[in-house]
Chain A
Amino acid sequence: MSEANGGAGAEDADDARRPSPLGRIVDLGAAAQACIPGLYAWAVTVAPVAWGRGAPLLAKGTALMGLASLAAALVLEHRRPDDAPRARAVAVWGLAATSALTWALEPSALSLLRIDAARGFAGMLGWAVFAFACAAPPVRRDEANDARVVEGPPLRPRTRLAQGDIVIISLGALIACTLQVVGWRSGPAERAVLVRLVALACGLATLGAATGVALARHARRVPPTRGERIRRVIPWVTLLSVLVVTRIAFLVFTGK
């Protein structure tokens, strides 16, 4: 019994020592911390310009060089922690210079007519955070103070998410995300807003249904009988069948 408790305690201690995702970011160096907002700023303001309509190939190349400069800063800082200021300079000047080149190669993409307010604000915020992260000293874990922290027993979840649930919910999330890709180039602004709203609602409905299917697998304290299930679902399946048959009939009669 005590051995079992000891094993569980050791496992708990291991869990507690395992760094959280936020802890891992804190453990990164200054350039690596700055790369995260840099990547965001690049994705919002540089990538749409480089991969927009009519953008030259050279603009795509300079945009990719911006990403490469962020990666180079990460590698440099990881290999030589003492060269952190140099790595930071590579990230700042590399990304800023290549972004400026990309914008210069496709200046029409930055006109007010082609940038909406939300994207402009998001881009401004991204560059501001990137500048702040580059200028501010890195947030580091204080090893001396860590030793004085008395760790309590780690919080344990009451249950773990079953593997099948993760697959089902991930499938729902994938479908919901795929629906957001549809209809970004639909004509007038009113139609575009309607498409976005409908796609968002459809994504939420799909995600909700997938979550419901996953959770229902564990909520069967009183499982319904096969007949009850069939009775319950028959109206909906009938309606679905009517819709499908109507569609087939429509296609047959119109000869499409």
Chain B
Amino acid sequence: MENKAFSDLARLKKRLIAVFIAFAACLMIGGLVYHAHFRASRRADVERLLLSLEQIKLQQLTLWREGRMNDAMSLAESPVLGIYLARFAADTADRNAAALLKNRLQFYLRYNKYPLAALVDGAGRALLHAGEDPAGLSPQLPELIRQARASGRAEMGKFYRNGADNSPHMDIVVPAVKSGRGRELLLVLSVDLADYLYPLLQTWSAKGDTGETLLVSREGDHVLFLNDLRHTKDAALNLRIPMTTERLPSALALEGYSGLVKGGDYRGVEVLAAVSPVPGTNWALVTKMDWAEAMAGTAVVGLLLLALILVLLAAAGGWTFYLFRGHAAEFMRGVMDNLPIGIAVNSTAPQVKFEYMNSRFPEFYRTTREALEKPDNFWNAVYEDPALRAEIRGKVLADAASGDPARMVWTEIPITRKEGGTSYIDAQNIPLPGRDLMVSVVMDVTERRRALREIQKLNQDLVEKNREMENFLYVTSHDLRSPLVNIQGFSQNLADYFAVIKNEPAFRPGAERSEAVGRLLDEKIPSSLDFIALSVAKMDRLITALLRLSRLGRAPARPQKVDMNGLLRQILSYFSFKAEKSGAEFICGSLPPCLADREALNQLFSNLVENALKYRHPDRPPRVEITGRLEAGRAVYEVRDNGLGIDASQADKIWQLFYRVHPAAGAEGDGVGLSLVKALADKNGGKVGVTSEPGQWSVFRLEFPAAQE
């Protein structure tokens, strides 16, 4: 019925698996692509952020530097200071001017974020100051003074650790007095970086835990970190890292690179950084964020994506399996419904209830699925006759309750319908281990039963016919013998009477008798008597053979293991006298034992050997060779002679009763010997056949069940 399902199942399985794999692959590739794209865009966002921050910081830094220089310049050139500066330059001992200058400077410091303002001479000595102790001023002050003197503008010095409190500072120096008169004076403004610059750098306008901006400069082969760092304490002016450190963003910036870098920062942590040198300085600015933070969300998104993919895969797999199972179930249903047996799974107690049945099951019970599935309706549906139903139900339930599988096999149960007669089933229950269920198997054996009955009947008829035939043979030969006894007896009497008559002087030769009477007495009567005697003897042999044949059918064969070597020795020695007379030669190979009636074998082989001698070729002494071997569990023997042979056209007829191949040869042949051979072979589960070359040889091939050695 479901042929499509039949042929398609294997292909469907392959196809479903292929579709599932393709779907899974697409899903994974899509997921990977999406995730990669997501990371790239995330990275781009972070990069944009870092770049813009870098730009802002760079601008702020530039503005700050300009602001600080402008501060110094405007202070130095301020008219408020100018008069007193000139006076102080003219005479550094002018206390009044000094006091006024200091006062002005102090006033300035009050509203500007410088911890120290000082006036120094060309050698860098502090002549007066306001704020902190000038002793902590940069040791590089003389260098800075030279630069300022040369440029005539404000100059910024390098960052350094203040000699007084060791805090990071930077000095700005500007020539304070432009006229060449008097003492050279320079204004020094000291900047407390922690107070004034670092906060500017460290304001991180993007939220985050790892982002920072750092200012670096090069100090020989090292990168010197100028500001305080987020992740390392007290790093400003203390932390140095070799320029050669690989993928160090600040080193790249110091080498002049400007742009985005992915590398490892001073901690060795993977970071994404925007870098650029700070124009007009030997600084570089690095705005960076930890890679981990930059990509922080992506891992979660990746996991979510993975989870989504897995859920989709599971769903697809489930769907595929469901689809396949549906087809497989259909396939199995097709198989089950096409079996020539009915199968059901059911409980038997307390009532027959079906979990499953194939379409044959109700068919063999000659009812419908609906009828069987009705609660507690099995017995009513199957057995119409209440008496039979009760009987079968009782027996089946008792057998099933016994739990003995051997008892749960029922054969040839009649299923009778008022219309449609009786059919027969074989049924078997197979308990399912560990469950309250049985597998019920049922087969329609009506036809088998009918065929068996027919065979039994035919067999019976055959046995009957055979017995009749044997009986007929027996009775016939018996009754034939009865008149023969008379013919023989009375012809014997006649011979005796004739002898008496012949001995009468009147009838002796030479006595007076007519010629005709003389011929009768001397010739005709004796020869007639001889013919009668010969015929009687022959008839006797025939009847005896017939009797033997009939007896053969009635006597049961008693198969036993027969030592064929011993048997043939015995047979050949029996024939040795005849053999000697005719110059015959016997050759007997080693023969395997076989399973047959010993007496039957004796007669059979005797007949064959006798035939070989009887139907010898007149031109050569007879030669009889007997060989044997085992062939596929059968003992095979061959009796080969060099006699007259049998023409192929006669090969089938030689086994018939009274058929004679060589009527002329061997007068004593009666046409029974080979019939007997065949009958004996048949009776002992054997086979006999012949091959021959007429005028040359014959081989009789015999086959019997082999005996175990």
**A in complex with B:** no
